[in-house]
Amino acid sequence: MVKLILASKSPRRRELIEVVSDNVLCVSAEVEEYIPEGMRPQEIPSHLAKLKAESVAKSYPEDMVIGSDTVVILGDKLLLKPTNETDAFVKLRSLSGKTHKVITACAIVYRGETHSFYSETEVEFYELSDEEISEYIKTGEPMDKAGAYGIQGRGSLFVKGIKGDYFNVVGLPIAELKRKINEILG
């Protein structure tokens, strides 16, 4: 059986990858996550996932290495992880009452080849009061998440509905990932 190496330190992705396989090792990808100038927001997660996977694959040439990255896009604006509480507030205020896209890309490196795909989910938020946003920020939950919220935690209280894969919003589209792995292994 092929060992899966998840190029991530995310506890959420670690839990999710264990649904895909029991034979998993999680290794932090120590790469500079740079975004080339002029890159469209929809292309960024694929670029970053590939950087992570290919970096870790150098140390695990016999295994299947999976890198992933998630972004939140509102209109044509990219909402990355907040830099501080004020930034988190601004991001959440901008999402209030609107529908945004969550894109998670996966790059799978196996036997010297890189295979990539991405999944897109639409998420609609309720109208949020300033008090709701401030209380949520006080929990600390939004500070390490794209778009400043976690759908699997207290951020779920803001979600009016989703169209697409829930696990994509959490950070790893596991059903599609499992199918891609099976396809690669033949």
- pLDDT for 34 equals 86
- pLDDT for 63 equals 96
- pLDDT for 164 equals 98
Catalytic residue from among 22, 69, 130, 165: 69
Collect all residues with Cβ–Cβ distance below 8 Å to 108 and sequence separation of at least 6.
53, 64, 65, 66, 114, 115, 116, 180, 181, 184
Gap between the Cα atoms of 8 and 3, Å rounded: 15
Gap between the Cα atoms of 178 and 186, Å rounded: 12
Is 69 one of the annotated active-site residues of the chain?
yes
Phi, psi at 55, each rounded to 5°: -65, -50
- Neighbouring-strand partners of residue 67: 107
- pLDDT for 71 equals 95
- pLDDT for 42 equals 87
**Residue 71 vs residues 10, 11, 30, 81, 110: alpha-carbon distances, Å:** 14, 17, 19, 9, 24
Question: Would you say 48 and 69 are in contact if contact means Cβ atoms under 8 Å apart?
Answer: yes
Gap between the Cα atoms of 152 and 143, Å rounded: 14
- pLDDT for 9 equals 85
Angle at 44 between CA 47 and CA 134, to 5 degrees: 135
Question: Would you say 74 and 98 are in contact if contact means Cβ atoms under 8 Å apart?
Answer: yes
Question: Would you say 169 and 151 are in contact if contact means Cβ atoms under 8 Å apart?
Answer: yes
- pLDDT for 41 equals 87
Question: Would you say 182 and 113 are in contact if contact means Cβ atoms under 8 Å apart?
Answer: no
- pLDDT for 153 equals 95
Q: Which two tokens stand for residue 144?
A: 């390490």
Residue ranges in the chain modelled with pLDDT below 50: none
- pLDDT for 1 equals 73
Alpha helices, DSSP H, located in 21-121: 44-57, 85-95
Gap between the Cα atoms of 104 and 43, Å rounded: 10
Amino acid at 74: L
